[in-house]
Amino acid sequence: MTDEVLIDLRNITKTYGSGDAAFQALCGVDLTINRGDFVAIMGPSGSGKSTLMNLLGCLDTPTSGTYRFKNVQVENLNKDQRSLLRRHAHGFIFQGFNLLARTSALENVELPLLYRGYTRKQRHQMARQALASVGLPDKERNTPAELSGGQQQRVAIARAIVTNPDTLFADEPTGNLDSHTTLEIMELLGRLNRERGISIIMVTHEDHVASYANRTIRVLDGLIEK
Amino acid sequence: MLLNALFIALREIRRNVIRSFLTVVGVVIGVAAVISMVSLGNGATAVVKQNISKMGNNLMTLRPGQGWGGGAGIPLFELADVDAIRDQVPGVDTVAPFVQTNVSAVFQENDRKTDIQGTTPDYFRVANWELAMGRFFTDEEVMEGAQVAVIGETIRKEVIGEGIDPIGCKIRLKSTTVTVIGVTTAKGQGGMSDDLDDNIIVPYTSIQRRLTGRGSNGRNINQIMIAGIDGYPSANVVADVTLLMRERRSLGENEENNFSIFDSQQLTEIVTASTKVMTQLLGWVAGVSLIVGGIGIMNIMLVSVTERTREIGIRLAIGARAREVLWQFLVEAVTLSCVGGICGIALAYAACYYGADLVGAPFQFDPKINIIAFVFSAGIGILFGFMPARRAAALDPIEALRHE
């Protein structure tokens, strides 16, 4: 872990709707995450943790406040600029895996590379490496329907890390998995964090999952609990 | 980016073979319908033209009376009319007198009622006759009223019979006998579905002397065949011949023509124009089915965007830009419609190949309609693919990922 700042949020607010129907999901969040951190974001439903996660992952923009990612101001980027930022710096893992159906594991992992202009050979090589590093070297031809939940999440992780991102955003990565598989996936994430220095920001509501992180942030009513 | 979009689109098409197939079917049928309708229509037009030209290119037939029938009391033509037309009307290539009767032709035990046509050697040229064997008769043979005959293929087959050299055979016609000197090349069916080969052509002098008689006051020519010069407007010839014949038949200013002229070129024009209209009509009807096919593509693409919302969300989350998603869906639609276009052309070929026999029209390849139909189907892909593609591109990644 270094002290290099990766993410710096200052007084971030997010309001949905307008007028009387307006709902303030975030009410002035200050947050700093260093490169190499493994952060768990916890909080009850409706606390604003998902909103925070979407803002951190540049899937959404804040209503006000400043967001510096790697010292670059990103809160005012347009849709396409955010797409490019995600393409080059972020990896995403979802609770529901979100793999393309009827598509082999290898092709699923290749997906982000398609948008980065690699040759077919490079794509195959990088995707195979990623699959091997999540422990699925022999499943590249299988489609999601032929894989277990844990294996599907591993493919999703391979897809997220195949581009060597700075940051991995994991939205309840073990929410659909049993306790044994949860253990495996969390160990894999921990290893990626330690060995490859990938910063991980993870939303969860389970304490034992959060315990794999080296820092836990609790969100309540749109604010981070001190 | 376009190449990349094509690659992604092809992957998606392959991933959903059945859906893609169903999407394409409408366009396949539309394109096939347009091409086969137009091709068969062109084929039919060509057949009609060909049949009419079998009777003789640029052929005009002068008949006594109005319409098809002669009618009683209407004077026939005289030989001098033939010469007058040949000498006085511009744009005339050849003129031949035509004397016709219908008798039984007998050879050995064979007997067939057939058309006996008495004429001059010019007739062979006027009516586009060619020889399969032997020779035509000459002007000298006409002068001396020689008992010679050129027979049609049907007569050779039905009266002479197979395996017998027809040249030199003597065919009995009523009380006279003619010697076969030539056989004409088969023409098959004519424009009126009649057998053009069921005839015996003899010098008109022999037919008059032996069969029909000389007629009253030398008016003994049933018809006069006139061949126009290629490229000379037949309407002018018809007008000039009409004037000439009115004068020669001493018709007063208020009297109606007691003769008529059948103009094959005019008939060709009328028939060609009407089949062309039919072809166009069929083409348009088929074109409507192509548009319906395009709407099918749009329908499936729209459903597909809804069904694939999550896929779009995944692509956006991992960094696809809106325009890359737009291109993917647009290229997918265009690829499908182009594939549909190609399959449609192939299907049209198959349909024309087998359909040509069915409607009796030759298979005519028309590159123009193929290109038009293909470009049109690709255009339909762009037109009807754009709306769904734009809808896909406008999706919000968070909403899309949440979509069930």
pLDDT in tens, B46-62: 887 777 777 666 888 89
* pLDDT grade for B378, boundaries at 50, 70 and 90: confident
Whether A53 maps to a domain, the answer reads yes
Whether B339 maps to a domain, the answer reads yes
Whether B382 maps to a domain, the answer reads yes
Q: How close does chain B come to A156, measured CA to CA in Å?
A: 11
Q: Containing domain of residue B224, as a range?
A: 75-257
Residue B218 has pLDDT above 80, yes or no: no
Interface residue of B10, B314, B318, B402 to substitute, partner A, most A CBs within 10 Å: B318
In 3-state terms, what secondary structure has residue B250? coil
| Same domain, residue pair B390 and B306 | yes
Whether A6 maps to a domain, the answer reads no
Of A54, A92, A107, the CB nearest to B318: A92
pLDDT at B209: 79
With beta carbons under 8 A apart, name residues in chain A contacting B322: 79-80, 83
CB spacing of A111 vs B315 below 8 angstroms = yes
Pick from A217, A206, A169: nearest CA to A60: A169
Q: Containing domain of residue A167, as a range?
A: 38-60+79-224
Residue after which a domain boundary falls, among B257, B288, B321: B257
Listed in sequence order, the residues at least 6 apart from A162 whose beta carbon sits closer than 8 Å to its beta carbon are A109, A110, A112, A113, A126, A127, A129, A130
Judged by a CB distance cut-off of 8 A, whether residue A120 touches chain B is: no
List the alpha helices (DSSP H) in A27-174.
Answer: 49-56, 79-89, 105-114, 120-133, 149-161
| Same domain, residue pair B324 and B228 | no
Mean pLDDT of B169-193: 84
The number of folded domains in chain A is: 1
pLDDT at A1: 46
Residue after which a domain boundary falls, among B257, B284, B299: B257
B58 to B45, B52, B95, B108, B264: CA distances (angstroms):
17, 10, 12, 39, 6
pLDDT at A2: 55
| Same domain, residue pair B28 and B105 | no
Whether B152 maps to a domain, the answer reads yes
Residue of higher predicted confidence among B66 and A166: A166
pLDDT at B373: 84
* The pair of three-digit structure tokens given for residue B277, joined into one six-digit string: 């209209």
Listed in sequence order, the residues at least 6 apart from A81 whose beta carbon sits closer than 8 Å to its beta carbon are none
Structure confidence by residue, pLDDT tens digits, B161-171 = 888 899 999 99
Whether B80 maps to a domain, the answer reads yes
Inter-residue contact B140 to B172 (CB < 8 Å):
no
Q: How close does chain B come to A59, measured CA to CA in Å?
A: 7
| Same domain, residue pair B284 and B397 | yes
Structure confidence by residue, pLDDT tens digits, B282-293 = 888 888 888 888
Q: What is the CATH number of the domain that holds A109?
A: 3.40.50.300
| Same domain, residue pair B183 and B223 | yes
With beta carbons under 8 A apart, name residues in chain B contacting A168: none
Whether A105 maps to a domain, the answer reads yes
Whether A7 maps to a domain, the answer reads no
Inter-residue contact B148 to B234 (CB < 8 Å):
no
CB spacing of A60 vs B8 below 8 angstroms = no
pLDDT at B253: 83
**What are B134's strand-pairing partners?**
B182
Please give the interface size between A and B, counted as residue pairs whose CB atoms are below 8 Å apart: 60
* pLDDT grade for B303, boundaries at 50, 70 and 90: confident
* pLDDT grade for B254, boundaries at 50, 70 and 90: confident
Average pLDDT, chain B: 85
Residue B216 has pLDDT above 60, yes or no: no
pLDDT at B16: 83
* The pair of three-digit structure tokens given for residue A105, joined into one six-digit string: 């594991």
Whether A92 maps to a domain, the answer reads yes
Interface residue of A111, A161, A203 to substitute, partner B, most B CBs within 10 Å: A111
Whether B111 maps to a domain, the answer reads yes
Nearest CA in chain B to A102: B15
Other beta carbons within 10 Å of B126: 27
Residue after which a domain boundary falls, among B257, B279, B314: B257
Residue of higher predicted confidence among B307 and A128: A128
Judged by a CB distance cut-off of 8 A, whether residue A94 touches chain B is: yes
| Same domain, residue pair B251 and B284 | no
| Same domain, residue pair B109 and B253 | yes
With beta carbons under 8 A apart, name residues in chain B contacting A117: 4
The number of folded domains in chain B is: 2
pLDDT at B192: 59
Inter-residue contact B394 to B322 (CB < 8 Å):
yes
| Same domain, residue pair B187 and B298 | no
* The pair of three-digit structure tokens given for residue B18, joined into one six-digit string: 């059945």
* pLDDT grade for B203, boundaries at 50, 70 and 90: very high
Residue of higher predicted confidence among A103 and B191: A103
Whether A65 maps to a domain, the answer reads no
In 3-state terms, what secondary structure has residue B6? helix
Tens of each residue's pLDDT in chain A, 226 residues:
457 899 999 999 999 988 888 899 999 999 999 999 999 999 998 898 989 999 999 999 999 999 999 999 999 999 999 999 999 999 999 998 999 988 999 999 999 998 888 999 999 999 999 999 999 999 999 999 999 999 999 999 999 999 999 999 999 999 999 999 999 999 999 999 999 999 999 999 899 999 999 999 999 999 998 6
Mean pLDDT of B249-257: 85
| Same domain, residue pair B252 and B203 | yes
ipTM over 0.90: yes
Interface residue of A95, A115, A120 to substitute, partner B, most B CBs within 10 Å: A115
Structure confidence by residue, pLDDT tens digits, B7-39 = 888 888 888 888 888 888 888 988 888 888 888
C-alpha–C-alpha distance, residues B28 and B342, integer Å: 8
With beta carbons under 8 A apart, name residues in chain B contacting A84: 319, 321
| Same domain, residue pair B137 and B246 | yes
pLDDT at B359: 67
Structure confidence by residue, pLDDT tens digits, B75-106 = 888 888 999 999 999 989 899 999 888 888 99
CB spacing of A84 vs B318 below 8 angstroms = no
Q: How close does chain B come to A166, measured CA to CA in Å?
A: 13
pLDDT at B71: 60
pLDDT at A159: 96
| Same domain, residue pair B116 and B239 | yes
Q: Are strands B59-64 and A64-69 parallel, antiparallel or unpaired?
A: unpaired
Whether A93 maps to a domain, the answer reads yes
pLDDT at B217: 63
Residue of higher predicted confidence among A134 and B303: A134
Of A60, A83, A159, the CB nearest to B320: A83
Judged by a CB distance cut-off of 8 A, whether residue A118 touches chain B is: no
Structure confidence by residue, pLDDT tens digits, B136-176 = 999 999 988 899 999 999 999 889 888 889 999 999 988 88
| Same domain, residue pair B295 and B390 | yes
Full DSSP string of B29-88:
HHHHHHHHHHHHHHHHHHHHHHHHHHT-TTEEEEEESSSS---TT---B-HHHHHHHHHH
Residue B70 has pLDDT above 80, yes or no: no
Whether A86 maps to a domain, the answer reads yes
